[in-house]
Structure 1
Amino acid sequence: MIIQQYIQEVLFRQRVCVVPQLGTFSIQHFPAQYNASAQTLMPPRDQIIFSQSWQDDGSLLEWIGLKENLVPSVAQRKMEKYLEELKASLKDGKTLELAGIGKLQGDFTGNVHFYAEELPINPESLPISPIHRQPATPVAPEPPVSTEPLPLQELEPVMTEEEEDTLEAVTDNSIFSWWRAAAALAFLLGGLAIWYFVSRQAPRAETAETPDMPAHDTAATAVTPADSATIAATPVVSDSISYLIVIEAYKDSTTAAKKMARRKSWKQFELVLIKKDSLYSIALPVTSLPADTTARLDSTRSKYGTAHLKF
């Protein structure tokens, strides 16, 4: 039956699956345990638990509608049909196997017994032996090191006669180089001043000698059809737009809040809950180019099942 696959998908998707009129499957995590008497450590593990008490949260109905692309009313009738077949198969002590979960077996009193599926490899306990540390051998303290600074001795520079002559020559040459650099800078500034004066006088002379220009020829500047086609063919880049892609819409705020909380538990933190036109909608805010609107809608529909735009 297809309902067995739906139960498995919902259980491993959100770690709990409520089957109306039957019970609740859940995955319980057991942490690592240490056995002090045997000095062993059991690794952490997950185990599937079944309880005949149930409170319908709508997750199985929603999953059936999403997988078979059905509206909620049709999905409700389909789920009821699946559940009748499931309960009929458990009558008279028959066994129903759920792949990856375990086995269900009914009895003549109407009770359902669950046998969890055993893992192919059971994790073995890890032996842990105590560590005996040897006492540390005392180490003799080292003698203190003196931190007093040594007295400084003044040193006088020692220069030979050749070094003194070289220093005097370098000093004289440096003075001569400074005057030479100043002369070159003055020459450069003078050249710039002459160029600036000539460039200011040239436009005035051209303006004085320019004859009257004829009237503007409108025919010469008319736009040809080819130019118009070129201008029309120039693509216009539009700016990005912001809009909402609605995943679900409800008239009741309580139902919308429950659905939103469930999607947050599925780590769908990008969704928001909005109210517009007396409807409470769960939507995905998107900012993209207008040309990418259809692609973003298709990608959202493939991820969430149903989606439509709302600007």
Structure 2
Amino acid sequence: MLILQQYIQEVLFRQRICVVPHIGTFSIQHFPARYNAGAQTLLPPRDQVVFTQSWQDDGSCLEWIALKENLVPAVAQRKLEKYIEEFREALQPGQALELPGIGKLQGDFAGNLHFHPEELPVDPADIPIAPIQREEPAVPSAPPAIPPASAMPAEVPVPPSAEAVEPVMTPEEENTLEAVTEGSIFRWWWAVAGAVILLGGLAAWWYIGRQAPVNIPAPVVTIDSTKHRPAPDSSRAATPAVSDSISYFVVLEEFQDSLSAAKKAVKRQSWKQNVVMYRRDNLYKVAVPVRSLPIDTTSELQENRSKFGINKAYLEY
């Protein structure tokens, strides 16, 4: 059990995602800065650990154990099964398992796991933002009346002009002013970085959405029966029309969250595999679009199972 705890701590903060077979998936999600209108403060961006019981084994845990304990893959697999069994025993109903620096896992009587994350440290503090009150310009009053020359005194003393005095600051006050200025610039940099990350995520979601499969109907060819009518050939078997073909999907993998499905679809597309991602029955599926005759669906399924090495692949219309 301690081995899996160490594995989660090392891999999660290095790769921002960690898969524990037969347990679930830990990931670090970034939340951008947001404005609290009630307190009139700008909350800084933050990272939070998220856990889901869905998992897709990528072999990282087995490889980590083999390297950590210097074992061959077969022995490392038996060690992994033993560690997973100990991990499950520690998650009995009513018991909580502490993951230092990450959070707490707790099982219930229904076999579900509940995760309570810890607050990750955040450097920048809240930035107070006070509303600006704009003052209306004062209405100029009428100029005073100029008395006649006879009423003015012979000499009017002119007061000396006041010279601008530059404020004198101590070295401690100058250092404090520079620190406040640098801290404000650093906080605004975090806010801008969070906005850029949010826009990048929206752009990636829009690009993946455009990759959705589109069924293109087969072209219909019209033949004039009055010209070049071929003689019937009784020895040749009738060939089914092109319009009898159907479109369907060979589902390779399915996920409960769109992030994992999108990552898998992009990864397979980078391998030059013709796959798409779509949602059905509250599941996100990675599949191969296929168009064939109804009689060829079984052979297409077997061919894709052998091609991708996934025996659990199935058809979906």
| TM norm structure 2 | 0.40
Q: Is the helix fraction higher in 1 or 2?
A: 1
Q: Which has the larger radius of gyration?
A: 1
